[in-house]
Chains A and B, each alone.
Chain A
Amino acid sequence: MTALLALIRRDIRIALRVGGGALIGVLFFLTVVVLMPFAMGPDLALLARLGPAILWLGALLASLLTLDRLFTADHDDGALDLITMSRTPLELSCAAKALAHWLAAGLPLVIATPILGLLLNLDAGATAAVALTLLAGTPALTFTGMIGAALAVTLHRGGLLLAVLVLPLSIPVLIFGVAASEAAIAGPSSFGAPFSILCALSLFGLVVGPLAAAASLRQGLD
């Protein structure tokens, strides 16, 4: 437990100090959402209707942007070798790294959502609904994306491969995330069903992601 806490603390510290992890994702999220009204014109009703989808797309792309840092830095400086040789199981170390990544890069997106909702003419209730679905859904993006990040390290090909591998896996999260937000805002379908599936996807990712990532890293030892 001390070992995992130490790993989480270290990764968060690095993400906050280098300014790469948390800030780049939020800035990218901000850019996407700010540019959207300019692209679509000053139709407030349209903007409010598309708001949840835009926020979700922005959050998905932003979390993808920072994912490739998850293992590459540790691989390049040899830290991954020592992590593999640790007495902590590699699966748990992967889970801890993903959790730290979500805390440093995913959670800021959720926190930024209320401010960005204003730019898209979403009222307080709608913004809260989107933020809630992002809170439930972004862990799924991180944990499934971790598989792609581990494979990218193993195959020595960085970002491009990651996007190709991870995007299909994140489509279900996007579908149910937007569906739940739409249901909360406009109805008439229920909010509960898609939201439960979203939570289920996150829990599923929490179990499968670390196992798959650790298997991939072990396979790629060199």
Chain B
Amino acid sequence: MRLSGREVGCVRGGRKVFSGLNFEAASGEALAVVGPNGSGKTSLLRLIAGLLVPARGSITLEGGEAELTLAEQSHYLGHRDALKPALSVSENLNFWRDFLGGERSDPAESLATVELDHASHLPAAFLSAGQRRRLSIARLLTLRRPLWLLDEPTNALDTAGQRMFVGLMGDHLSRGGLIVAATHMPLGIAARTLRVGDAS
């Protein structure tokens, strides 16, 4: 499986964010997107996720499932965590597992991995920022999709949580997955660096 972008350009609100961006990642590889604030890291992830339309260039995933689009094979972990405060932790997780589509695994196991199993009946409204992030990470685990798009994934996580997440990323890569992560901090795993913004 190979993710590649050719001469990708992004325009938002009439302003050119970046242009002429080339990148490539194969199965088992991680791509760390770095750059100053406002340079378009999040925009690049949203372009790959199909949530923005590229102004020019193209992004393709070769060797994936032929009938599925790039977005349908990706997990997007953004700033907004898509959790409903009125639903409990396990209801939130079960909904996304049933709705998104993909190879499923046991949600209870995913919750145990992110150490939220003790809170599975708690409404998501009572979770702390770090716990919300852990619950979002559980979504990546309970539904298998090959490409992970992570926007500052370790935000709000404590050091134990960050270590846990580094391990999870490693597992994902060793199963042949791909990771594209926008980050200001070192990811903790071997990753190629993709600089956006100042280079062009």
Q: Interface of A with B (CB < 8 Å)? A: 2-3, 5-7, 9-10, 13-14, 17-18, 76-79, 81-88, 221-222
Query: How far, in whole Å, are A206 and B95 apart by their CA atoms in the complex?
Result: 24
Instruction: Tell whether, in the assembled complex, residue B101 and residue A87 are in contact, meaning their CB atoms are under 8 Å apart.
Output: yes
Ordered by A's residue number, 5 sampled pairs between the chains whose C-beta atoms are within 8 Å are A10-B87, A77-B82, A81-B49, A84-B50, A85-B51
Instruction: Tell whether, in the assembled complex, residue B74 and residue A85 are in contact, meaning their CB atoms are under 8 Å apart.
Output: yes
Query: How far, in whole Å, are A79 and B76 apart by their CA atoms in the complex?
Result: 11
Query: How far, in whole Å, are A44 and B72 apart by their CA atoms in the complex?
Result: 60
Instruction: Tell whether, in the assembled complex, residue A85 and residue B71 are in contact, meaning their CB atoms are under 8 Å apart.
Output: yes
Closest residue of chain A to B12, judged by CB?
A: A222
Number of A-B contacts defined by CB within 8 Å = 80
Query: How far, in whole Å, are A9 and B82 apart by their CA atoms in the complex?
Result: 16
Residues of B within 8 A of A86 (CB): 72, 99-101
Residues of A within 8 A of B95 (CB): 6-7, 9-10
**Cβ proximity bits B22-60 to A, threshold 8 Å, 1 near / 0 not:** 000000000000000000000000100111110000000
Assess A221 versus B72: contact at CB under 8 Å? Given A3-B101, A78-B82: no
Assess A78 versus B100: contact at CB under 8 Å? Given A18-B86, A84-B50, A84-B51: no
Q: Interface of B with A (CB < 8 Å)? A: 12, 46, 49-53, 68, 71-72, 74, 76, 78-84, 86-87, 91, 94-96, 98-102
Q: Give 15 A-B pairs besides A14-B84, A85-B74, A222-B52 with Cβ atoms closer than 8 angstroms.
A: A3-B98, A7-B95, A77-B81, A78-B81, A81-B49, A81-B78, A82-B96, A84-B50, A84-B51, A85-B71, A85-B100, A86-B72, A86-B99, A87-B72, A88-B99
Instruction: Tell whether, in the assembled complex, residue B98 and residue A2 are in contact, meaning their CB atoms are under 8 Å apart.
Output: yes
Residue with the greatest number of chain B CB neighbours at <10 A, chosen from A6, A78, A84 = A78
Query: How far, in whole Å, are A115 and B80 apart by their CA atoms in the complex?
Result: 43
Assess A87 versus B82: contact at CB under 8 Å? Given A10-B87, A221-B53: no
Instruction: Tell whether, in the assembled complex, residue A85 and residue B49 are in contact, meaning their CB atoms are under 8 Å apart.
Output: yes
Residues of A within 8 A of B82 (CB): 77-79, 81-82
Instruction: Tell whether, in the assembled complex, residue B81 and residue A13 are in contact, meaning their CB atoms are under 8 Å apart.
Output: no
Residue from B51, B68, B84, B102 within 8 A of A81 (CB atoms): B51
Instruction: Tell whether, in the assembled complex, residue B91 and residue A82 are in contact, meaning their CB atoms are under 8 Å apart.
Output: no
**Which 6 pairs of residues, A with B, have the shortest CB-CB distance?**
A78-B80, A87-B101, A6-B98, A79-B82, A17-B86, A78-B82
Query: How far, in whole Å, are A3 and B53 apart by their CA atoms in the complex?
Result: 26
Query: How far, in whole Å, are A82 and B100 apart by their CA atoms in the complex?
Result: 8
Residues of A within 8 A of B98 (CB): 2-3, 5-6
Closest residue of chain A to B74, judged by CB?
A: A85
Instruction: Tell whether, in the assembled complex, residue B52 and residue A221 are in contact, meaning their CB atoms are under 8 Å apart.
Output: yes
Residues of A within 8 A of B50 (CB): 84-85
Residues of B within 8 A of A81 (CB): 46, 49, 51, 76, 78, 80, 82
Residues of A within 8 A of B80 (CB): 76-78, 81
Residue from B51, B76, B78, B100 within 8 A of A221 (CB atoms): B51
Closest residue of chain A to B139, judged by CB?
A: A82
Q: Smallest Cβ distance from B11 to chain A, in angstroms?
A: 12
Query: How far, in whole Å, are A9 and B87 apart by their CA atoms in the complex?
Result: 11
Residues of B within 8 A of A3 (CB): 98-101
Query: How far, in whole Å, are A78 and B100 apart by their CA atoms in the complex?
Result: 14
Residues of A within 8 A of B91 (CB): 10, 13
Closest residue of chain B to A16, judged by CB?
A: B86
